[in-house]
Structure 1
Amino acid sequence: MPKISAATVADHREQQRRALVQAARELLGEGGDADRVTFGAVAERAGLARNSVYRYFPDSAALFAAVVADATPRWTAHIAARMAAADTPADRIAAHALAQLELVRDGEHRIARALAAGRDRAALRHDAAEAHREILEPLVSALAELGDDDPEQTAALLQGLVNAATVALESGADHTALSERTQNLIRASLAAITPGAR
């Protein structure tokens, strides 16, 4: 069991809260069904007593909302870093998709999938929608820069392609081959609908 120590009571409480969020994230990432990621399991993983969870989260919806809030900046930072390394708007759009597929490969999507299937999904809908908006925002911007006359709609359509690729990856498709195919399809789509794509 990990020991948590801190200079102040407030720091100690924040460390415990972070440990609980991390424990829930790990359990969800390991493929755990959100409905089976109980406070008992989270507390055990964090090395805390079960009743400790209730000091920080009144229910599982609040805990899972904290998991979403914790994960979203990492996801968006990964996507932003991949896009920043690309040269052109078209390259950034392809990088946006490839970055998401890397997150799927690394197991991050299992967290979102587990939460979407749990009984608290209605309570998490707003948080999930906000996370989705943050993930799509740089894609919409790159499409607008490319000259797309309806970047929001195009972003939604391209995200549909990424979603299909995600299903294929989770069904055992080869990441490298699927990423290349996805990138080729995205570039072909951009060439067909935007004047500035290369």
Structure 2
Amino acid sequence: MPKIHAATVADHRSRQRAALLDAARALLAEGDASKVTFAEVARRTGLARNSVYKYFPDRAHLLTEVVREAAPHWTERIRTALAAAGDSPEDRVAAHVTAQLEMVRDGEHRIARATADAQDAAALRAGAEAAHRALLDPLVGALAELGDDAPLMTARLLQGFVNAATTALESGADYAAVADRTVRLAVAALRGLAPLPRADR
């Protein structure tokens, strides 16, 4: 019986912690990290404010954990898009750019962006930057497989198109128009490099 009780308590704590992270994630997705307070997170989960301290010692730990848990989801979403793309470098780049812009459209980027702009920014920026680096990993791997001799540099430069597109979308630009132009620009930039070997060569 004690083991069953311990397991039940652990399961309850796991669900409560997940609920707190979901509440913080929802607040960040709304675009303002300053709204992520223990009082507001507790209110949204129906817990007492003091209960939040049982799971996270302070706000910085809560926010950092939101980003840490979100990053693998973002990376997997991009990997899935790349796996479904064609074998050519152009198809891979188009899939990578499109997947990221779809996440921007869905509000996912606001989590890292809002966290990076938070008052307690030093540790949080590190977490957000790590998440952004993780987003490049699938493209870096694809470019390396395709024969790029500086895949990280190429991926970072191509990411500049996505960053500019994100700014445009945040300013209210039309998603379809921005996404189409960004994909075409990124693909054109890739073609401007020394030719990468294609999969059928």
Cα distance, 1:197 vs. partner? 7.0
2:133 alignment partner in structure 1: 133
1:172 aligns with 2:172: yes
Structure 1 residues 128-156: Cα deviation after superposition (integer angstroms, max 9, x where no partner): 23212211111111222222221111111
1:39 alignment partner in structure 2: 38
Residues 105 and 197 of structure 1: CA distance in aligned 2, closer, same or farther (over 3 Å): farther
Give the RMSD, CA atoms, in angstroms. 1.6
Cα distance, 1:157 vs. partner? 0.7
1:156 alignment partner in structure 2: 156
Where does the alignment leave 5 or more consecutive residues of structure 1 unmatched?
A: 1-5
1:146 aligns with 2:146: yes
Cα distance, 1:76 vs. partner? 1.0
In 2, Cα distance between the equivalents of 1:194 and 1:155?
Answer: 15
Moved more, 85-94 or 125-134: 125-134
**Greater C-alpha radius of gyration:** 2
Cα distance, 1:30 vs. partner? 1.5
In 2, Cα distance between the equivalents of 1:142 and 1:172?
Answer: 32
In 2, Cα distance between the equivalents of 1:83 and 1:125?
Answer: 27
Q: Which amino acid aligns with 2:47?
A: L
1:85 alignment partner in structure 2: 84
Q: Which amino acid aligns with 2:91?
A: D
2:63 is paired with a residue of what secondary structure? helix
Alignment of 1:33-72 (within 5 A): 33-72=32-71
Where does the alignment leave 5 or more consecutive residues of structure 2 unmatched?
A: 1-5
1:123 alignment partner in structure 2: 123
Number of aligned residue pairs: give it. 192
Structure 1 residues 70-117: Cα deviation after superposition (integer angstroms, max 9, x where no partner): 211211111111111101232112111110000000011111111111
In 1, Cα distance between the equivalents of 2:62 and 2:72?
Answer: 17
Q: Which amino acid aligns with 2:60?
A: A
In 1, Cα distance between the equivalents of 2:16 and 2:194?
Answer: 50
Does the 8 Å contact 1:147/1:194 carry over to 2? no
Q: TM-score, normalised by structure 1?
A: 0.91
1:182 alignment partner in structure 2: 182
In 1, Cα distance between the equivalents of 2:24 and 2:141?
Answer: 33
Does the 8 Å contact 1:90/1:197 carry over to 2? no
Alignment of 1:20-35 (within 5 A): 20-31=20-31, 33-35=32-34
Does the 8 Å contact 1:90/1:146 carry over to 2? no
2:102 alignment partner in structure 1: 102
In 1, Cα distance between the equivalents of 2:159 and 2:43?
Answer: 37
Q: TM-score, normalised by structure 2?
A: 0.90
Q: Which amino acid aligns with 1:43?
A: A
1:193 is paired with a residue of what secondary structure? coil
Q: Which amino acid aligns with 2:42?
A: A
In 1, Cα distance between the equivalents of 2:76 and 2:98?
Answer: 14
